[in-house]
Amino acid sequence: MTSAPDRGDRGRFVFDLPDPEAALAIAGEAEVTLHRLEALTGASVVLRGLQLVITGRAAQIERAASVVELVRPIWQDGQAVSSVDLQSALGALNTGRGDDHSAMAEQVLVRSPQGQTLRPRTLRQKSYVDAMERHDLTFALGPAGTGKTFLAAVLAVRMLTERKVERLILTRPAVEAGERLGFLPGDLQQKVDPYLRPLYDALHSLLGPEKTAGLLDKGVIEVAPLAYMRGRTLNNAFVILDEAQNTTPAQMRMVLTRLGEHSRMVVTGDVTQVDLPHHQLSGLEEASEVLDGVAGVAVCRLTSADVVRHPLVQRVVEAYARLDEQRLEQREEQGLTSPPSRIVRR
C-alpha cells in the first residue's frame, strides 16, 4: 500500500493488490463494487492493473481507504466484496467499531463445497454467531434476508462435522398449509416438504445435495414439521426451529421443553410476518420476552441493516417498516389498541 502527497485540496492513495483474483474481488463485476464505494465515501476509486487508486479530499480518501482495509480479509481471500460488506465496514467506522469489524472479517465459519468462505457479514450477525456458540438456546428475530436460518445451519453443520453433536434436527410449523394439506399429493411428509424447502436449500449449499441426501437417509439430519417434535427428547442434537413466529405459545413451550442433554437449539423468525389466525399471539413474541435474561438463553435482534440478499430487499424491508410504524401511530391516535395486522414497533 502506497500513498502520494496531496496536491491542493486533493490527494491520492494507492493499494497494491496481491493478484488478479484480489483485484476482481474488490472491483466486482463491471466494477459495481468500486462504484458503490465511491457513492458511500465520495472518493474516486479506480482499478489500474493490480493497483487500487483512491483520489479525493483527505477525509474522503481516509474513509475509502479505511473501508478497503477493513474488508481486506475478504478480497485477499479472493472472495467477492459486496455492497453489504462495504456498508457494514463503513457503519463500523462511523460507530468506532473498526477493530470489531476487522475481527469479524477474519472469522471464517466454514468453507462450502464450492470453495466459498462463509463468514458473518455484519456486526450483529457476528454477535448472533457468538451467541449460538455460547448459549444452549438462542432466539434470532429479524426481517427476511438477515441470515437467521442460514447462519444457524452453518453453525449446526460445523458442530456436526466437529462431532460436537450427533445429529441435526430442523423443523418449522406448516401454518400456511392449515387445513389445505388434503389436496396435496403424497403422505404427510411429502405434503409438508414444500414448507421445509428453505431448510433443504441451506443444507444443499453447505454440504452439497448428495451428502445432504446421504445424511438424511441415515437419519443424521432430520427435517420435519413441528408436529413431529411432540413427546420426544432431543439429546446430542443441534435443533433449529425456523419460522417460529407461526408457533402458538403452547407449541413454543412444547418444542423448547424437548431439549435434551448435550443439545442446543436456535429459534428463528420474523415477528412482522405472522400467519397465525387473527389476534392469535405468536409464541416467538412471547418466548423472546419471557426468556430474555434467563441464564443460558440469548435473544438476538437483527435489522434491515443486516439484510444480505439483493440490495433492494433492504429497501423493501425499510419501506414496509415505515408503513407499519405509520399505521400503528394512526391507530394509537384513534384510540385503537388492537392492530388490524401484525404490526410490531421495532
309 vs 240, higher pLDDT: 240
Mean predicted confidence (pLDDT) in 81-110: 88
Alpha carbons 122 and 182: distance in angstroms, whole number: 42
Cell representation of residue 120 = 458473518
Domains along the chain with CATH numbers: 2-106 (3.30.1370.10), 122-310 (3.40.50.300)
Alpha carbons 284 and 262: distance in angstroms, whole number: 23
pLDDT digits (tens, 9 = 90+) for 274-297: 888 877 899 999 999 999 999 999
Band (pLDDT 50/70/90 cuts) for residue 111 is confident
Q: Note the Cα 291 to chain centre separation in Å.
A: 22
User: SS3 of 47, please?
Assistant: strand
Mean predicted confidence (pLDDT) in 162-182: 75
Residue 5 has what pLDDT?
Answer: 42
User: SS3 of 168, please?
Assistant: strand
Residue 192 has what pLDDT?
Answer: 63
Residue written as grid cell 479506480: 46
User: SS3 of 85, please?
Assistant: helix
Please write down the HEC assignment for all residues of 288-309.
HHHCCCCCCEEEEECCHHHCCC
Buried b (16+ CB within 10 A) or exposed e, 264-284: bbbbbbbbbebebeeeeebbb
Alpha carbons 298 and 291: distance in angstroms, whole number: 8
Alpha carbons 284 and 148: distance in angstroms, whole number: 14
| One-letter amino acid of 46 | V
pLDDT digits (tens, 9 = 90+) for 224-276: 888 889 899 999 999 999 999 999 999 999 999 999 999 999 999 999 888 88
User: 252 with 229: CB under 8 angstroms?
Assistant: no
Q: Which neighbouring-strand residues pair with 167?
A: 237
Cell representation of residue 87 = 456498508
Lateral strand order in the sheet of 51-57: 2-7, 10-16, 51-57, 44-48
